[in-house]
Each structure stands twice: as structure tokens, then as C-alpha cells.
Amino acid sequence: MTPRTLQARLVLLLAGVVVAALAAATAAFGLSTRQPGGERLVRTLHAQALAADALLAQGDVAATRDGLRALAIDWRATPPADEGARMPFLERTGARVAARLPGRALRWSGSPARLWVQARPPAQGWFGIPVAGAREPLRRGLLLSLLAIGALVLAASAWFARGLARPLQRLAAAAPGIVAGDPPPPLPAGASAEIGELRDALADAAERTRAAARDRELMLAGISHDMRTPLARLRYALALAPEVGDDDRAGMERDIDELDAIVGQFIDFVRDGRDELAEPVDLVALLHAVADDQGRHGRAWTLRLPPEATAPARPLALRRALANLLDNAARHGAAPFEIELDTVDAGWRVRVMDRGPGVPEAAMAGLGRPFHRVDAARGTPGSGLGLASVARVAAVHGGGLVLHNRIGGGLIVELTLAADRPRGAD
């Protein structure tokens, strides 16, 4: 299974390269030393065996022992236990020495290895020749060196891969905000030029997104001004028209109010607060202020709030979002109306609750999408942008919007705010 992260793939690739290099180096070492080193060792052992035979043939025991000791050769009357060749290399060496000493018995013992050869008649006993030229210590040293080099290469590769992947992970984590227009985060020191170019491209794209949002806001603000001016004239003309009946007048005023509210919802949807500076906001005081505004319209709200609650937020956007939630509950729900504020893992949670008809479960998933309305459950006219505007403000504050029906009837709307700074905050 191929690893999914770039860092894991780089480490795996480099590990494969290191293992292949170690195997190639080991094979090359074996090929380069197998024939020359083995032949040299066979000649040395054969020469020492001939020298020992010559010394043993002198008959002078003292001189023989001195000569054997000078050659580092042991002599004993009985052969040692045959331990066999410990390595294929020694086994091959023993066979080649035996071919040069026909009719002579050989055996291996000890560590480091010693080759014991039966003395040539008429001499008696066995002499042991140390195998000083065995390649095992050299091979062991080479293997340890290669393993150390491989470990260093892998450690350096892992460090390099981590340094390459960290900026990409940081950009990936910031991608939702970048798409929405937030500037990309600064890159860690040592980031490559290619990743710097990627960040610059994302910063340019985010700036274009912010510019488009500003243009859209200005356009809708102009539309709002241009539409509200004739609406105000219509309202004034309606008030001065004596021939309009009271019922017709009330209906026309409701239509004008509805048009004005729809225009306001369009503006609220565009103005999600992204360009507003973030600052510490007293959520308790803000909820009291929004509930007091509702009270001036004859809507009583029950508040269950902690003594203190402060969060980094964009105050104007957050106030519009909360007012939108309370207006939505008042228009579509029924008393008693309640507000709760508590903490969650992500920060703070505002719960707006009513005892109205609620929303059919089949239509619950669409709530919060622009222009989505549930006329069957909430028949009051509207643009379908109220909850969508609140969801945009929640996203800017690093939170979200969740809606679910209330046990016993009604709707619960939960607005969460992140505990840290909202997106794009300075």
C-alpha cells in the first residue's frame, strides 16, 4: 500500500535507495575480495604448514617449539575437538589447503579460527595455524560502517522530507480560509523557493477573492440604496394617498416591509464580517443587548448565560448574525423563546430555542443553504438567506451552524464560535 503523505513517500523512497546502495556495496566488496584475498590466505596457510613440517622434522624439540612459537603456531599431541568451519569462506579455504596437503587430516577450532593440521610422518601430533587473514572482522566493520551511513542518510532524509512537507501541510490546513479570501499563513524558515511561489500564487488568488467580495458588497450596497430610496417614496406616497383603504394600505405596507427586509438579508449575506477587525467581545453583554432589542418589539426572551464569556470576534457581524437568529425564531417559531450560552470543545456555543412547529426532518439538511426555504413548516415569506448569512458569519469565526428539532416541539439553532482568533484576524 502506497503511503498517502509526501513525507512518508520520500522517506520510503530514500530508504529503498539506501538499502539498494548498501546491498550493492556489500556485493561489490565480496566480489572484489573473494578471489585475491582467499588465494592469498590459502598460500599463507600452506606456507606455514610447510614451515611447521620442516621444524618438526629437525628432531630438536626445544628448537622446534621456539620456531613454532615464533610463527604463532601451536602444537599438541592429540587433536582438538573439530568445531567445523564457522563460515563458508573458511570452509572453502580449508578445502583448498587440504588439496595442497594430500593425505593430511585438517580440522577447525577456536575463535578466532585456527586450522589444525596433522603432522607429516614420521613426526607425531597436530599443529594449529591461526587464520589471521580471515575477512570476517573486515566484513563486520564494513557492515557496521554501512549501517551507520545508512542510518545517517535516513535521518537526514526524514529531516529533509519533514521540512518539505510541513509548509505544504500548513497551506493545506489554511486552504478553506484561502479559498474564502484569507491570506495564506507565513511559511516556516527554510521553505523551498517552489513552495514560496505556491504561497505567493495562493496569496494573489486570495487577494482577488477579497477584491471580488468587496466589489460584490459595494454593488449590493448600491442596489440596497437604489432600491430603498424608491421604497421610501412608495411608503410616503402610500401614507398620503387618501383613496387607499385601510386593508389595502396594510397589505401594501407589509409588501414594502418585506421588500426592505429582503434587501437587508442580501446585504447581510454578503457582509459576513471578513473585512471587519477582530477584537475581544463580551458575549454575555452582546446577547443581553440583542435580547433587549427584541423586547422593544414585544418579544420576551429567557436568557441562561454564564457570569462571563469573552471570545475574539467581529462584533458587528456577530451581532447581525445573532439578531438574525432571534428574528428567525420570532417569525417562524412560537414562545417561549430561550437563549443559552455554554462552552464546547471548540469554544463557545449559543443555543437559540423556540416552541414553534419545528422543521420536517427531510428538509433539515437543506437549512443554511442560500435561498433554501421550508414553506411547508414556516410559511412566512422571505428570501431564504437568513440562516445562510448566519452560517457564513459562523464560518468566519471558525465555528458552524447546527439545527435540530426540539423534543416536545420547536427548533434549536446552535451557533458555535472558535476559542482562538477567527479566520483572517489581524
Give me the pLDDT at residue 284, please.
94
Model pTM? Answer: 0.47
Q: Which three cell numbers stand for residue 109?
A: 577450532
> How many residues can be counted in the chain?
426
* CA–CA dist 118, 98 (Å, integer): 11
* CA–CA dist 149, 180 (Å, integer): 47
Judged by DSSP in three states, 11 sits in helix
β-pair type (400-405, 347-353): unpaired
Give me the pLDDT at residue 380, please.
47
* CA–CA dist 150, 132 (Å, integer): 29
Q: Which three cell numbers stand for residue 163?
A: 521540512
Q: Which three cell numbers stand for residue 42?
A: 590459502
* CA–CA dist 51, 62 (Å, integer): 16
Q: What DSSP string runs through 156-180?
A: HHHHHHHHHHHHHHHHHHTHHHHHH
Conformation bin of residue 328: beta by default, left when phi > 0, alpha when psi is -120 to 50: alpha
Share of residues in the chain with pLDDT > 70 (%): 74
Give me the pLDDT at residue 294, please.
92
Domains of the chain: 6-138 (no CATH), 175-270 (1.10.287.130), 277-426 (3.30.565.10)
- Is residue 315 reached through a cis peptide bond, with omega within 30 degrees of 0 on the bond before it? no
Q: Which of 135, 141, 140, 124 is nearest to 92 (CA)?
A: 135
Q: Do the Cβ atoms of 338 and 302 come closer than 8 Å? A: yes
Cell numbers 512518508 correspond to 8
Q: Do the Cβ atoms of 354 and 333 come closer than 8 Å? A: yes
Q: What is the pLDDT along the chain (426 residues), one digit of tens a residue?
A: 556 665 666 667 777 777 777 777 666 666 555 545 577 888 888 888 888 888 888 877 778 888 888 888 888 888 888 888 777 778 888 888 889 999 888 998 887 788 899 888 888 889 888 886 544 555 565 667 777 777 777 777 777 777 777 787 788 877 777 776 777 888 777 676 777 788 888 888 888 877 776 776 676 666 666 666 777 777 767 676 766 676 776 777 777 777 766 666 666 666 666 667 889 999 999 999 999 999 988 899 999 999 999 999 989 889 989 998 998 899 888 999 999 999 988 789 999 999 998 888 877 776 766 655 665 444 445 556 778 888 888 888 888 899 999 998 999 999 999 876 555 544
Element (H, E) at 114: strand 114-118
